[in-house]
Amino acid sequence: MTTHQRDYREIITKAVCGNGKKFIQSKDEVMSNHHPSSILGCWIINHEYHARKQTGNIVQIEGHYDINIWYAFQDNSKTEVVREQIHYCDDIPLTEVDEHAFDHIHEVMAKVVKQPNCMECSIVDGRKIHVEVEREFAVEVIGETKVRVKVTPIPIKNNPSQSAVVKRVK
């Protein structure tokens, strides 16, 4: 081993090996029970999701949320709330990837940057209602990678407490 090789060590450790972020806009369709006269409100609740690494540099997020639409019907004389669960599957490309990471991935972490939010809700045709939704995710892929560190020897000072023990004989 040369002097240069002794000055460095390679350590295998878990680290963030890739990350990405994506802003998603989608249009969802909800069917009402009656012909709506007007939309009185729209909100999205009960968002759940999970992420997994796909082949290549893609993380896939599958999830669902509930859309609740409060609308008036019969010439705005009655109201009702229609609820529909929407399922989605989003592919998030990894923009920064560690080329030295080992192939087996230990963990994928996904974080919601922006919860699904209704941007616009409109009556399209008869009982059909379109809802424009925005959401945003950030993902990190954690795996094993190799790190090279410089080793600097620390000089050991002579400490009296580390001196040899002497036995007294009577």
Task: Please state the separation of Cα 63 from the chain's center in Å.
Answer: 12
pLDDT band at 17 (very low <50, low <70, confident <90, very high): confident
161 lies in some domain: no
Q: What is the pLDDT of residue 156?
A: 75
Average pLDDT, the chain: 88
**Per the domain annotation, does 29 fall within a domain?**
yes
Burial of 61 (0-12, 13-18, 19+ CB in 10 A): buried
Quick check: is 56 in a domain? yes
Summarised one tens digit per residue, pLDDT across range 61-103 is 999 999 999 999 999 999 999 999 999 999 999 988 877 777 7
Q: Does residue 163 fall inside a structural domain? A: no
Domain count for the chain: 1
- Rounded alpha-carbon distances, angstroms, from residue 169 to 54, 68, 150, 165, 166: 74, 91, 49, 13, 10
Nearest of 104, 39, 95 to residue 72 by alpha carbon: 39
Residue 14 pLDDT greater than 80, yes or no:
yes
Q: Which pLDDT belongs to residue 168?
A: 57
pLDDT at 53: 86
**Domain range enclosing 91:** 3-152
Q: Which two tokens stand for residue 106?
A: 């230990």
| Domain contains 34 | yes
Q: How many CB atoms lie under 10 A from the CB of residue 26?
A: 13
Residue 166 placed within a domain? no
* pLDDT reported for residue 155: 76
Whether 73 and 35 have beta carbons less than 8 Å apart is answered as yes
Q: Is the pLDDT of residue 146 over 90?
A: no
Give pLDDT, residue 165. 52
Residue 160 domain-assigned (yes or no):
no
What are the CA-CA distances from residue 128 to residues 23, 74, 110, 145 (Å)?
A: 26, 16, 33, 51
Q: Which of 82-86, 111-115, 140-144 has the lowest mean pLDDT?
A: 140-144
pLDDT exceeds cutoff 70 at 170: no
- The answer to whether residue 166 scores a pLDDT higher than 60 is no
Q: How confident is the model at residue 40 (pLDDT cuts 50, 70, 90)?
A: very high
Average confidence (pLDDT) over 165-170: 55
The answer as to whether 136 is a domain residue is yes
Do the beta carbons of residue 27 and residue 132 sit within 8 Å? yes
Give the model confidence (pLDDT) of 147-162 as tens digits.
Answer: 889 888 777 776 655 5
Residue 13: what pLDDT? 87
